[in-house]
Amino acid sequence: MESYHTVLEAIASSQKQGVLAIIIRVDGSAYQKEGAYMFIDEDGHTFGLLSGGCLEEAVAIEAKKAWQNECATIITFDLTQEDDLSWGQGAGCNGVVHILLQPITERIRADLLAVKTHLDQGRHVLLARKLDETTDDYFNWLFLTEDGYRLGGFQEEVPAQMWEWLHTAPPFHSQSGICTIADTPFYIQHYWPKPRLVIFGANLDVKPLISFAKQVGFSVTVADWRPAFCCPEQLPDADQWVVGFPHETIPELHLCKHDFVVIMTHHFQRDQEIIKLLRDQPLYYLGVLGPKRRTTRLFSGSLIPPSIHSPVGLSIGARGPEEIAISITAEMISVLRNGSKGGIQ
């Protein structure tokens, strides 16, 4: 899961105040890159990671100072040094990490919760945080949503370049970092909704796939025509259960180009129906369980479109539901990070 989801969920589930820590710049190599988040609440509890564990304690100490001073600050950790008194000792990194520490006031908290609502409703959000120590912290924050909403205390005219970044960013692949606009530095980051995985089929072998996909940050929907199988009692880790035959459920799901789909009903005619209904639907990922020869039969002997992952999952010699689920999850992560092959053609 992207760490901003972890942090936003922590802020939403607690009334405690605290400090937001964001890696805004990395020079060289580091365990985490720009866009990694951690939240340190007023009791010292932390959510999210900024490193492999070597920086978190020091960041928490600095966060307490920022909270007491009621002022945002940027701290720097040099991981390139190898002497016993430096951060590089045993860290396994060779870079310099710059971290923004931002006390979460009530106004900023309200904006972050509004951002979470937009993400939960499937909307992409752009953060542009002005790096200006002379301005009140709240007036340095700007959030833009893909449907045109503006959040935060930033009161200046929004540069056209920011709107362009918002609307032209490739899904899941936009880099975070510091950009200068009209001689003013901004930290820019894209917040993407959790990628949705739709699993067609509610047999018991979907349980480990649901579990692994959830752990790495997917929102999981299961669709099946059997209400006794497709229900919270049978599959409690899913986020949504949609009951009906494919011609009923697919229109209800409102599938889009950002969605991941795995077909694993173990029912040949149902799989064939699903593929027929999805043929013209652009998807980020589509995988079909079973050997390639079976998928060829699903396409009535014609060539399998290159956009379809068949057999689904990375080729790791997987056996049994758990290993197969790991291979599918790994393949979805690879596609998420490296780009989609495109929709079904």
343: confidence class by pLDDT, cuts 50, 70, 90: very low
CATH code that applies to domain 196-338 = 3.40.50.720
User: Helix, strand or coil for residue 340?
Assistant: coil
* pLDDT tens digit sequence for 35-61: 999 999 988 889 988 887 778 888 989
Give residue limits of the domains in the chain.
3-104, 107-191, 196-338
- Percent of all residues in the chain with a pLDDT value above 70, rounded to a whole number: 93
Q: Name, in order, each residue with C-beta under 8 angstroms of 85's C-beta and a sequence gap of 6 or more.
A: none
Residue 247 confidence (pLDDT) above 50: yes
* pLDDT tens digit sequence for 176-225: 999 999 899 999 999 999 999 999 999 999 999 999 999 999 999 999 99
Give one DSSP letter per residue of 114-152, joined into a string: HHHHHHHTT--EEEEEE--TTS-GGGGEEEEETTS-EES
330: confidence class by pLDDT, cuts 50, 70, 90: very high
Backbone dihedral angles phi then psi of residue 304, each to the nearest 5 degrees? -75, 125
Residue 55: the pLDDT is 85
Compute how many other C-beta atoms are within 10 angstroms of the C-beta atom of residue 241: 19
Residue 44: the pLDDT is 86
Percent helix, strand and coil across the chain, each rounded to 5? 30, 25, 45
Residue 69 confidence (pLDDT) above 80: yes
82: confidence class by pLDDT, cuts 50, 70, 90: low
Mean pLDDT, the chain, integer = 90
Residue 93 confidence (pLDDT) above 90: no
pTM: 0.85
Cα(176)–Cα(153) distance, rounded to whole angstroms? 21
* pLDDT tens digit sequence for 128-163: 999 987 667 889 999 999 999 999 999 999 999 999
263: confidence class by pLDDT, cuts 50, 70, 90: very high
Backbone dihedral angles phi then psi of residue 318, each to the nearest 5 degrees? -65, 140
- Percent of all residues in the chain with a pLDDT value above 90, rounded to a whole number: 69
Q: Which of 85-94, 122-131, 277-286 has the lowest mean pLDDT?
A: 85-94
Q: How far is CA 331 from the centre of its chain?
A: 16
Q: For residues 344 and 305, is the Cβ–Cβ distance under 8 A?
A: yes
* pLDDT tens digit sequence for 105-118: 899 999 999 999 99
Q: What are the distances in angstroms from CA 40 to CA 9, 56, 119?
A: 13, 10, 22
